[in-house]
């Protein structure tokens, strides 16, 4: 065996310029990445107003002008050096970094692949100075306190990289995305963007409690705001706040998902997954939620130095973050949302109603005085086997009777009764969803509240009410079931029979009792209380189908929501069922008391507000 020949290349240290160009490969991918670094720097310098000017999608020019504290003349050249930063000086600083930058490599990297100039003035200077990075020339210039960085002809000296750039329009779109991300995080800072001399956006600085929502509508448009709910959740030192779009606002693409950790835009799987799982229950299929979420966390609990562009972070306790994000969004989506008015500044709620939190209990629990027989009319194919007995006990001013063995439970069973006179004296505005007026086309309930007209999709709404009740029972005492007066027998396949035989416990937990009559027939003996009026056989069949598809353990763990949702769908009030006014009111009150009542189980809205102003507009009636 012969030894290999000696290496023809001695080991040499790379020249600084080449090191920076290599670093630029990581940090600077396209004009938008330059822009991100320059915006970070401007914000770190305390700027309150930032102007971005672009030529040819940023390929010919990216200019970022800020009114921050500036850079002293003797520091201009230092700022351009590799690993030169004013933001950290030791490992401790790195571990609790609160600035956007800290690696001290952006300006050096950008300067190595473009023609960069740095113009700056501090309070201490009578005028600005400008430094040309290429030549190192420095001379006086005119500008106010602050800094302007101009980056021309990106990648002019690295043609291979330049080839990877897309059309100017695409590069511009990426640049605008970058500005949007920063602008959403800093509503207190004004932003203006120009392309080829034309103004694209001017977002003025906002202050006060509405700053975030005002900026949100600047950047994402008013529909985003009207179709989203406020998120605000704290768990120990961690806080998750922002806005989450309603299912109705969901999109085919994941292009309006903004997540921030301590003010820095990140793409993070933990957060994304936490949000996704909160939407699990209201967003089915491939639809993408829209959201702007800010996670504030102890800087020591997150490592921001895992990616050169800092777009990825690593959490010390990612489960805790996941849980917090999920709970935050889940809670926000669960609250009933009222008044989808176009103006975000206008309170959508009647003045007496709380803006957040659940509705006052006294308003919720109304529904005494409804007779079971009337409420029964709500239900789909009611089983003749079930006698609507016990209705006589449903007298006004009486506490509700406990569900009897034979009497079907009131689908809108309140937690306690209230004098019916309370109903008579109440103004329509006393309830967020108003007072029922009529039923339209056998599908919609029309109601009146202080803002105007409420239109409710009764099947969708009722389905959600039943579904949420099932979930609550499941999580609590277990699903309450009640025996059928006459068991409902049906022809069953061998698989269905086998499924019943092997899953007694799962069925029990789901509130179903099914017995095997013969190798080819089954009988449903009891069903969940809330579903007592539905078609017991259809219900049993679909639950058996789920059990066969997922297996009992899955149904009880992961697929439980799907299964409960299918169950609810079977029982919900069918279209074309005529409701009395009292029944409609009962449903409205139930909706107010139900989490996530704004959407049906398939993510469609259950109700809409049509304001008096909108009605006036329809009739061209000026006020
Ligand atoms: N717009 C600006 N205003 C004031 N100082 C700036 C600005 N941009 C850059 N600097 C200074 O230049 C230094 C180097 O910037 P940079 O290369 O982006 O590194 P980093 O931001 O990681 O510190 C910064 O630490 C800061 O002191
Ligand atoms: Mg920087």
CA distance 333 to 340: 15
pLDDT tens digits, residue range 440-474? Answer: 988 899 999 989 999 999 888 888 888 888 888 88
Report CA Rg, the chain: 32
Tell me, yes or no, if the pTM score tops 0.85. no
CATH superfamily to which 480-571 belongs: MutL, C-terminal domain, regulatory subdomain (3.30.1370.100)
Residue 428 has pLDDT above 80, yes or no: no
Indicate which ligand has the atom closest to the C-alpha of 20: 1
3-state DSSP assignment of residue 314: strand
- Ligand 2 centre from 47 Cα, in Å? 14
| Residues whose CB falls within 8 Å of the CB of residue 554, separated by 6 or more in sequence, listed in order | none
The answer to whether residues 240 and 324 touch, using CB atoms and an 8 Å cutoff, is: yes
16-203: which CATH topology? Heat Shock Protein 90 (3.30.565)
Ligand 1 within 6 A of CB of 61: no
Ligand 1 mutation target, pool 28, 44, 46, most atoms within 8 A of CB: 44
Do the beta carbons of residue 237 and residue 290 sit within 8 Å?
Answer: no
Of 19, 97, 107, the one to substitute when testing ligand 1's pocket (max ligand atoms within 8 A of C-beta) is 107
- Residue 178 Cα, ligand 1 centroid: separation in angstroms? 18
Mean pLDDT across the chain: 81
C-alpha 371: how far from its chain's center? 40
As beta bridge partners, residue 235 has 238
Q: Is residue 589 pLDDT above 80, yes or no?
A: yes
Please give all residues whose CB falls under 5 A of ion ligand 2, grouped by chain where several chains appear.
Answer: 40-41, 101, 106
pLDDT at 622 over 80: no
CATH of domain 221-334: 3.30.230.10
CA 47 – ligand 1 centroid, Å: 12
For the stretch 137-196, pLDDT in tens is: 999 999 999 999 999 999 998 888 888 898 999 999 999 999 999 999 999 999 999 999
The finding on whether 67 has its CB within 6 A of some atom of ligand 1 is no
Domain boundaries, the chain: 16-203, 221-334, 361-463+575-618, 480-571
Strand partners, 1: none
How far does the centroid of ligand 1 lie from the alpha carbon of residue 79, in Å? 6
Ligand 1 within 6 A of 514 CB?
no
Nearest-angstrom CA–CA distance, 184 and 90: 31
Domain 361-463+575-618, CATH = 3.30.1540.20
Q: CA 404 to CA 413: how far, in whole Å?
A: 13
Which DSSP string do the residues of 497-529 spell out, in sequence order? Answer: HHHHHH-HHHHHHTT-EEEEEETTEEEEEEEEG
Cite the DSSP H helix spans in 305-392: 318-334, 361-364, 372-376
Range ranked top by mean pLDDT from 275-279, 413-417, 478-482: 275-279
Contact 360, 354 (CB under 8 A): yes
First to last CA, the chain: 100
For residues 468-485, average pLDDT: 86
Distance CA 359, CA 436 (A): 18
Question: Cβ distance 413 to 400 under 8 Å?
Answer: yes
């Amino acid at each position: 065996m012969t030894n290999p020949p000696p290496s023809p290349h001695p080991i040499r240290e790379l020249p600084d310029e080449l090191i920076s160009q290599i670093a630029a490969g990581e940090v600077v991918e396209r004009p938008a990445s330059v822009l991100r670094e320059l915006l970070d720097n401007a914000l770190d310098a305390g700027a309150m107003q930032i102007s971005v000017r672009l030529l040819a999608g940023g390929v010919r020019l990216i200019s970022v002008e800020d009114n921050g504290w500036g850079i002293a003349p003797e520091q201009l050249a230092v700022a351009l050096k590799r690993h030169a930063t004013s933001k950290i000086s030791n490992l401790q600083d790195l571990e609790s970094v609160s600035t956007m930058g800290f690696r001290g490599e952006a300006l050096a990297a950008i300067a190595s692949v473009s023609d960069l100039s740095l113009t700056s003035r501090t309070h201490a200077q009578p005028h600005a100075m400008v430094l040309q990075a290429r030549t190192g020339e420095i001379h006086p210039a005119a500008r106010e306190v602050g800094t302007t960085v101009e980056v021309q002809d990106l990648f002019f000296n690295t043609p291979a990289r330049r080839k990877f750039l897309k059309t100017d329009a695409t590069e511009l779109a990426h640049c605008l995305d970058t500005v949007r991300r920063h602008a959403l995080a800093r509503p207190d800072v004004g932003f203006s963007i120009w392309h080829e001399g034309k103004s694209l956006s001017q977002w003025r600085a906002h202050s006060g409690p509405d700053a975030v929502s005002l900026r949100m509508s600047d950047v994402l448009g008013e529909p985003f705001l009207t179709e989203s709910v406020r998120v605000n959740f704290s768990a120990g030192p961690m806080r998750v706040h922002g806005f989450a779009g309603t299912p109705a606002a969901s999109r085919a693409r994941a292009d309006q998902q903004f997540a921030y950790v301590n003010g820095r835009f990140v793409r993070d799987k933990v957060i994304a997954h936490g949000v996704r799982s909160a939407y699990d229950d209201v967003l089915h299929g491939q639809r993408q939620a829209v959201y702007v979420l800010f996670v504030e966390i102890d800087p020591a609990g997150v490592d921001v130095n895992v990616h050169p562009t800092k777009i990825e972070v690593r959490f010390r306790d990612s489960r805790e973050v996941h849980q917090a994000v999920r709970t935050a969004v889940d809670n926000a989506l669960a609250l009933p949302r009222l008044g989808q008015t176009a103006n975000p500044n206008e309170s959508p709620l009647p003045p007496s109603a709380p803006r957040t939190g659940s509705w006052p209990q006294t308003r919720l629990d109304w529904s005494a005085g409804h007779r079971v027989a009337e409420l029964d009319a709500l239900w789909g194919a009611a089983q003749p086997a079930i006698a609507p007995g016990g209705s006589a006990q449903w007298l006004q001013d009486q506490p509700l009777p406990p569900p009897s063995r034979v009497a079907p439970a009131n689908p809108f069973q309140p937690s306690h009764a209230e004098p019916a006179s309370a109903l008579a004296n109440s103004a329509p505005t006393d309830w967020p969803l108003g007072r029922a007026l009529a039923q339209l086309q056998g599908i919609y309930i029309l109601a009146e509240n202080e803002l105007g007209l409420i239109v409710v999709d009764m099947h969708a709404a009722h389905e959600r009410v039943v579904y949420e009740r099932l979930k609550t029972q499941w999580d609590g005492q277990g699903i309450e079931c009640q025996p059928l007066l006459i068991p409902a027998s049906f022809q069953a396949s061998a698989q269905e029979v086998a499924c019943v035989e092997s899953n007694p416990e799962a069925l029990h937990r789901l509130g179903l009792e099914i017995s095997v009559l013969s190798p080819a027939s089954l009988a449903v003996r009891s069903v969940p209380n809330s579903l007592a009026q539905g078609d017991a056989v259809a219900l049993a069949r679909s639950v058996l189908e789920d059990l066969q598809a997922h297996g009992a353990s899955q149904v009880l763990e992961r697929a439980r929501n799907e299964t409960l949702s299918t169950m609810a769908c079977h029982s919900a009030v069918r279209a074309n069922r005529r409701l009395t006014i009292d029944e409609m009111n009962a449903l409205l009150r139930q909706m107010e008391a139900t989490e996530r009542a704004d959407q049906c189980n398939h993510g469609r809205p259950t109700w809409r507000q049509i304001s008096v102003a909108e009605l006036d507009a329809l009739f061209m009636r000026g006020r």
